[in-house]
Structure 1
Amino acid sequence: MSATLKQKPALSVWNPFRVSVLDRYLLKQLLLPFLFGVAAFSSIGVSVGALFDLIRKITTVNLPFEIALQVFFLQIPLYISYALPMSTLLATLMMYSRLSTDSELIALRSAGMSLYRLIMPAVFLSLMITLTSFAFNEAIVPAANYRATTTLETALKADTKKFQEENILSSEYAEVKGEDGKTKRVLSRIFYASEFNGDSLSGLTVLDFSQTGLTQIISADAAKWEVAKGRWKFSDGTIYVVSPDGSYRNIFKFAEQEIQLPRTPLDLANRKQDWMEMNIAELQEALALANSTGDEKQAYKMRLRIQQKLAIPFICLVFGVIGSTLGMRPQRSGKGTSFAISILIIFGYYLVSFICDSLGLLAIFSPIMAAWIPTFLGLGLGGLLLSRASR
C-alpha cells in the first residue's frame, strides 16, 4: 500500500506581466474606493480652499459670477492632485480591512498566500498613481494655477503688473581659472535700471568687467530686448572704455546701438511665479537665473522646490504601503474607522513634511533631505508594519 505524501500549498509569486484572477479581484476592489476618495477629498478641498473664498469675493467685491466659476474650475486640478495620495491610502485601508473583517485574508493565507504577495496589487496600483500624479503635477496643475491667479487678479482690477517697476539690479558672475590652477567665481557684470514699464527698461547703467584689463561702462536712457535677434537695443547712450590705469581710453555716444548682453535683467523684472505655478523645467530656469545673479538664497530655495516636485508624487506609494499593511491587521471595524485612520495618517505625514520643509528653507536640511525624508520615513514605517504583520 503506497503512502500518500501530503504536499504544502505552492506559494504564489507576483508577476506584473500576468494578471491573475486574484489580482483582478483585488484591483477591482481597490478601484471603487479610490475613485470615491478622489471625488470626496477633492470636493472637500476645493470647497474649503476655493469655493467659500470665491463666494465671499462675489458678495463683497462684486466678482462676476462667470469669472468666479472659471477660477473655480481652474483650481480643481490642484485639489485633485492633493486627493490622489489621500485616496490611495483610503482605498487600500478600506479594501484590506474588508478582506480581514470577512476572513478572506485568512482563507487566502491558508492557501499559501503570503502578505507580501497579497500586498503586490496595491503596490502596483500605488506606483501607477504615483506616475499619474507626477505627470498631472507637471502638465496640468502649474498651468491651471497660474491661469487661475492671473484671471482673478485681472477681474478684481488688482495690481496686474507682472513685473518689478523700479530699481532692477542684476549681478552676473563668471568662473575664472586663477594662477594656482583653481577655479574661482568673480563678478563679471553689473546691470542697473531705474524703471521698467513691462516693455522696456529706462535709466540704465551697465558695468562690464568681462574683458581682461578693461572696464566698460554703458549709460543709456532706455533699452529694449529684441526677441528675434536675441540682443538688447540701447537708445540715447554713451559707452565709456576705462583702461587699467583709470583713464578713459574711448568714449562713444550713440542714438541707437545693439549690444550683446544676457537677458537676465528682463527675467528679473518680469513677474516671479509661485513655485506651485511652475513645472520642473521652469524651476530649473529660475535656478539658472538665481545662479547667474549670485542669489544663493533663491538658488537654494529653487533646488529644494525641484526636489519636492520629484518627491511629492511618491506620497501615493507611501500611503499605499501603509494603508495596505494597517488594513491587514485583524479588526472588526467599518468604513468610518478606515476614514478616521486615513485622516490621522494624512495629518501626521503632512506635519512631518511641513517641519522638513521649514528646516530646508532655513538651510538646516539640504534640499534632498528636506524633500525626501518624509517619503523614506513613510516607506520605512510601512515596511516595518508589514514585517511585523507577516510574522
Structure 2
Amino acid sequence: MQLDFFPSRTLTLYLAKMFVVRILAVLVMLVLVLMALDLLGSTGDILAPEGNGQAEILKYASLRIPQLIARFLPYSVLLATLITLVTLNQNSEVVAMKAAGLSAHQVLAPLLLTAALIAAVSFAFNERIVTRANATLKAWEAADFGPIPEETGLRSNIYLTDGENIMTAAALSGEGERIALTNVTWYARAPGGIIRKQIRSPRAAYARPGWRLEEAVRFDVGSAELRELGEVVVGETLTPAQIDLQSVDPDAQSFWELSQTIDAFEAVGRRTSEMRAKWWHRISGPLSALLMPLLGSVAAFGLARSGQLFVRAVIGMALGFAYFVVDNAALAMGSFGGYPPFLAAWAPFFLFLLLGETVLVRTEE
C-alpha cells in the first residue's frame, strides 16, 4: 500500500466526489452572494441609459459571473479543502485510513488529483470565456452601459502619450486607419507636466495625420475659459500602429494572443514586464488550486477530540489566504518592474508549495 501514491479506487472516488461537491457548493455560494452585492451597487448605473431594463441587468450578470468564478475558484478550493478534511477528521475517517497503512500524502492524493483537474478546467475557462467577458464588460462600462459600437477590435480605457501631451479615450473600436475613439480628452501640457489646456470630444477618427476631434470643447486652465471648437486635429505624431500597441488590454486577450502581443512589443523595444508577468500568471494562477489541499492539510491530521481541530482549521485557512496576499503583492511588484516577471508569477507558488510540504512532513510523516 505504501508503494502506491493513490489509495484504492473506491476510496479515491469517494474522496474526489466529496471534494468536488463541496467545491461547487462553496463556489455557488460565493458567486451568488458577491453577485448580489455587486448588483446593489451597479444596478443604478445599468438602468441609467434610456431603454435599459431587466435584460441589461441579466446581461451584466452574465458578464460578471465568469469574472467572479475565475477570481474565487481558488478560494472555493481552499474552503472546500478545509470543510472536507475537518469532516473526515471529525468522523475518524482519517484515523481509519492511517490505520490501514495510508500515509498523509496518500490521504491527500485524491484531493490533489481533483485540484489538478480543477486547475486545468480553470485555465480553459479563463481562456475561452473570461477573457471575452472582460473585453465586453469593459467596453460596455466605457460606453456607460449604453449601446456598444459594432466595430471590431473593441477596447477600453485608452491612454496615449504624444511627447508632453496626453490623449485618453473611454473606448476604441476598429483597426488600422479605421480606428474610432469615443469620449476623448486631449491634455496639452507645458514642459514639466503642467496642463495648459484640455479638449474634450465625444468622438475622434484618424485624420492622416493626427486625430480629428468632433464637437470639441476646449478649456484653458490659465484663463478658466470654456470654448466650443467644432472640429480640431491633435496628436499629429500618433499613428494607428502606435495606438494598436499602446491600447492593449492583457486581461482581454487569450494566452496565445498575449504571447503575440508581447513579441510585437519586444520587436519595437517596448516595455513588456507587466504583460510578461500576467502571461506567466495565466499558468500559475489556475495552478494555485493545486496548493490548497496541501496548505489546508493541517486540518486533516491530529485527533479531533484533542480540542485543536478548530485551531488547525484556522491555521490552514491562514496559510491559504496568506498565499493569495503574497501572490497579489508579487504580481503587483512584477507589473511595476520590482520583480522579474517569472519570479513575480511563480515565486509565491513554489514558496507555499515548499511551506505546505514542510508542514505536512514535519507534523505527519
Shared fold per TM-score greater than 0.5: yes
Which residue pairs with 2:291 in the alignment? 318
Instruction: Report the more deviating stretch, 25-34 or 149-158.
Output: 149-158
Which residue pairs with 1:173 in the alignment? none
Read off the aligned partner of 2:274 and give its amino acid letter.
Answer: K
Which residue pairs with 1:277 in the alignment? 252
Q: Note closer, same or farther for the CA distance 1:44–1:166 as it changes in structure 2 (3 Å cut).
A: closer
Matched-pair contact (CA < 8 Å) for 1:58–1:68? yes
- Which runs of 5 or more residues in structure 2 are unaligned? 164-175, 182-203, 213-237
Question: For the residues of structure 1 that align with 2:14 and 2:112, how far apart are their CA atoms?
Answer: 15
Query: In terms of Rg, which structure is larger?
Result: 1
Question: For the residues of structure 2 that align with 1:25 and 1:159, how far apart are their CA atoms?
Answer: 48
Q: Note closer, same or farther for the CA distance 1:322–1:162 as it changes in structure 2 (3 Å cut).
A: closer
Pairwise CA distance, 1:267: 4.3
Pairwise CA distance, 1:89: 1.4
Q: Note closer, same or farther for the CA distance 1:275–1:53 as it changes in structure 2 (3 Å cut).
A: farther
Runs of 4+ with deviation above 4 angstroms: 58-63, 157-169, 193-200, 332-343
Question: For the residues of structure 2 that align with 1:143 and 1:339, how far apart are their CA atoms?
Answer: 37
Question: For the residues of structure 2 that align with 1:166 and 1:120, how far apart are their CA atoms?
Answer: 50
Structure in which a larger fraction of residues adopt helix: 2
- Which runs of 5 or more residues in structure 1 are unaligned? 1-9, 170-192, 206-220, 223-263
User: Helix, strand or coil: the match of 1:291?
Assistant: helix
Aligned residues: 298
TM-score by length of 1: 0.65
Between the two structures, name the one with larger relative contact order (CA 8 Å, sep ≥ 6).
1
Question: For the residues of structure 2 that align with 1:134 and 1:167, how far apart are their CA atoms?
Answer: 34
Pairwise CA distance, 1:376: 0.9
Choose which of 323, 335, 339 in structure 2 pairs with 1:361.
335
Question: For the residues of structure 2 that align with 1:383 and 1:315, how far apart are their CA atoms?
Answer: 15
The CA deviation string for residues 69-118 of structure 1, in whole angstroms up to 9 with x for no partner, is: 20111111111112321121122221121121122211221121111211
Which residue pairs with 1:79 in the alignment? 68
Question: For the residues of structure 1 that align with 2:331 and 2:269, how far apart are their CA atoms?
Answer: 23
Which residue pairs with 1:127 in the alignment? 116
Pairwise CA distance, 1:125: 0.5
Matched-pair contact (CA < 8 Å) for 1:360–1:367? yes
Q: Note closer, same or farther for the CA distance 1:347–1:115 as it changes in structure 2 (3 Å cut).
A: closer
Question: For the residues of structure 2 that align with 1:278 and 1:338, how far apart are their CA atoms?
Answer: 40
Question: For the residues of structure 2 that align with 1:70 and 1:285, how far apart are their CA atoms?
Answer: 30
Pairwise CA distance, 1:131: 0.7
User: Helix, strand or coil: the match of 1:151?
Assistant: helix
Pairwise CA distance, 1:195: 11
Instruction: Report the more deviating stretch, 149-158 or 318-327.
Output: 149-158
Structure 1 segment 1-391 matched on structure 2, within 5 A? 11=2, 13-15=4-6, 20-48=9-37, 50-58=38-46, 64-154=53-143, 156-157=145-146, 162=155, 197=180, 201-204=206-209, 265-270=239-244, 272-296=247-271, 299-331=272-304, 344-391=318-365
Cα RMSD over matched residues? Answer: 3.7
Pairwise CA distance, 1:61: 6.1
Question: For the residues of structure 1 that align with 2:326 and 2:36, how far apart are their CA atoms?
Answer: 25
The CA deviation string for residues 361-382 of structure 1, in whole angstroms up to 9 with x for no partner, is: 2322100000111111221121
Q: Note closer, same or farther for the CA distance 1:326–1:336 as it changes in structure 2 (3 Å cut).
A: closer
